[in-house]
Amino acid sequence: MPSWLRRVLIGEPLATHRLSFERLGMLGGLAVFAADALSSSAYGPEEILRALVLAGSGALGWVVGIGIAIAALLAVVVISYRQTVIEYPSGGGAYVVARDNLGTLPSLVAGGALQTDYVLTVAVSVAAGVAAITSAWPALLTYRVLIGVVWIAFMAIVNLRGVRESAAVFGVPVYAFIALMLAMIAMGLGRLAFGTIEPVTSEYVAATQPLTLFLILRAFSSGGATLTGIEAVANGVQAFTKPSGRNAARVLGVLGVLLGVMTVGIALLAHGLEVHPADHETVTSQIAAAVFGRGTLYYALQITTAIILIIAANTSFAGFPRLAAFMANDGFVPRQFANIGDRLVYSNGIIFLAVLASILLTVFGGDVHALIPLYAVGVFTAFTLSQSGMVLHWLRKRDEGWRHRAIVNAIGAAVTGIVLIVVAATKFVLGAWLIVVLIPLLLVAFRAIRRHYDYVAQRLSLDMASEVKPLRNLNLLLVGGMHRGTLEGLEYLRALTGEGRAVHLEVGGEHNPRIKRMWDDWEKEIPLVILESPYRSMTEPLVEYIQSTQSTEGYDTVTVIIPEFVVDTWWESLLHNHSALWLQVLLRNVPGVALLNMRYRL
């Protein structure tokens, strides 16, 4: 990317010492890390209804009980994770907890599960946000994939600008969504209590299958997607102002209360207003229309819902790069993910996440209901491993109050483990099998990457110093013609140690090329070797000559010097064929060859 475009889109680089200033307080942290979990209240209850409606309208009353059960599960997870973030203020969440207490394999399972969940979070959140837009403006339904991909790109750019800027951009819609949702719930429940509101629909939906325990558990597992996003706070503890652990715990507490109230409130309204799930309009939209009417407040809620559903992906953009950085430092994902970019964020992780989520959104056609079955398996796997690891942590540490803390985490591990089994079993044939297959494949990839890094470290170790032998090197200067640039290249060649030769690739088929006729007039010391190339290849004759010098003349290495002139403007560079660049690309993997690019200005 051109530097001027980077400055416009991303901003000026930030010095490393500013890292301590690029942290979030409680309000900013809630905007960045809680958007995903809070936004799930807009589609979690709807997914419960979509599962229950298979048993007919009479089964929809179960939405209240399932909503309360999810709120109770949320309370268990939040209380457990508050202990985790205080005990692990360096962040890393389930991956670090499992690594330190359960071992490498469980930590990789947690890391792989969370990575898949983060990618799905972006795709599901954006798809749900676009669904909220198309509910209010149905004409846009045809363009939902394009709208989603554009929003993902926008989210990536905002996050590349830094964590504080993302909090500033997304703080207003997050808090507007909270205010409008709480207002809708309060007003709707009040009007239901006083009987001043009519049901949304009186139609009856016939059952297509009986109401069984399996169907209820399937509805519960669909609503379990509401808990996704909580783990991101544990991964991003270092993003909070100090004391980081305490501030992250406060954000988790506020998040738990708000999400619990929203989930149960929408479930009560959906039951009281007899809302049925529809393809053309979301459940939240139907409730808002009944409570507010299709006026200013309705459209304000639809817009803020769409925005928060889309910016819920921001939680993944905050969590995925940090998790990838932890795993990169341990050698299980490419090292590039640990690099901090211009704006003190993990830029490679942000870009990689945006690309994967865009592909996933496109493959599934932007349909949130097609993506939901893949959801929640990963996050509940991480929940279970994290809480199990914390139990072992307390058993080892045994400081004051450790029994109480161990019991809290043990309850969290047991409950989330049961939910994981339920989610995997009820969603397996609906698409969750993809995640069940994908996580083992990721484990294979993680271990292969680690083996590579271990091999590289072993080969680069000073224990292998005895393998290093004195080298005999030949310097080859590539010359295209006899001109001033060639003379500068010859002077550079003389400044190097070792034998030097000039090499010219003759692609014109001349037996006595012009450069050969001029060489003796300008150069008396360095010999010129002319390599004929009847098929106009720039590399094959050169590689054959290099290999010949190594096999017959005993050279261990050959340094190829490629002169290249630099023009003054970008448009002038378009007028040249950049053969030096292509030679570097083509020769870089030839054994025993070192490449040296000598650039000179006209």
Is residue 291 within 8 A of residue 188, CB to CB? The reply is: yes
111: nearest Cα among 315, 296, 286, 331: 331
pLDDT digits (tens, 9 = 90+) for 244-259: 888 888 888 998 899 9
Task: Check residue 1 and give its pLDDT.
Answer: 63
Position 368, amino acid: V
How far is 264 from 268, CA to CA, in rounded Å? 6
Torsion of CA 460, 465, 470, 472, to 10 degrees: -20
pLDDT of 48 strictly over 70: yes
Task: Check residue 454 and give its pLDDT.
Answer: 92
Mean pLDDT of 117-145: 80
Q: Which residues of 569-597 are buried (b: 16+ CB within 10 A; e: fewer)?
A: eeeeeeeeeeebeebbeebeebeebebee
Task: Check residue 30 and give its pLDDT.
Answer: 81
pLDDT of 352 strictly over 90: yes
Q: Is 598 helix (H, G, I), strand (E, B) or coil?
A: strand
How far is 122 from 148, CA to CA, in rounded Å? 10
φ, ψ of residue 528 to 5 degrees: the values are -110, 130
561 has which bridge partners? 477, 596
CB atoms within 10 A of CB 197: 18
CB atoms within 10 A of CB 320: 29
Three-state SS letters, 498-562: CEEEEEEEECCCCCCCHHHHHHHHHCCCCCEEEEECCCCCCCHHHHHHHHHHHHHCCCCEEEEEE
91: nearest Cα among 356, 312, 324, 317: 324
CA angle 186, 190, 194 (to 5 degrees): 175
- Token code pair at residue 120: 């799905």
- Model confidence at 22, in pLDDT bands (50, 70, 90)? low
- Token code pair at residue 235: 């991964």
pLDDT digits (tens, 9 = 90+) for 519-567: 888 888 889 988 887 777 777 888 889 888 888 898 888 999 888 878 7
Is residue 311 within 8 A of residue 126, CB to CB? The reply is: no
Residue of higher predicted confidence among 300 and 364:
300
301: nearest Cα among 159, 178, 198: 178
Task: Check residue 354 and give its pLDDT.
Answer: 92
- Gyration radius of the chain's alpha carbons: 31
Q: Go through the domains of the chain in sequence order and give each one's CATH number.
A: 3-455 (1.20.1740.10), 473-601 (3.40.50)
Task: Check residue 372 and give its pLDDT.
Answer: 62
pLDDT of 76 strictly over 70: yes
Whole-number mean pLDDT of the chain? Answer: 83
Task: Check residue 483 and give its pLDDT.
Answer: 84
Q: Is 473 helix (H, G, I), strand (E, B) or coil?
A: strand
Is residue 526 within 8 A of residue 493, CB to CB? The reply is: yes
- Model confidence at 451, in pLDDT bands (50, 70, 90)? very high
Alpha helices in 163-226 (DSSP H): 163-194, 213-223
Task: Check residue 477 and give its pLDDT.
Answer: 92
pLDDT digits (tens, 9 = 90+) for 277-293: 887 788 888 899 999 98
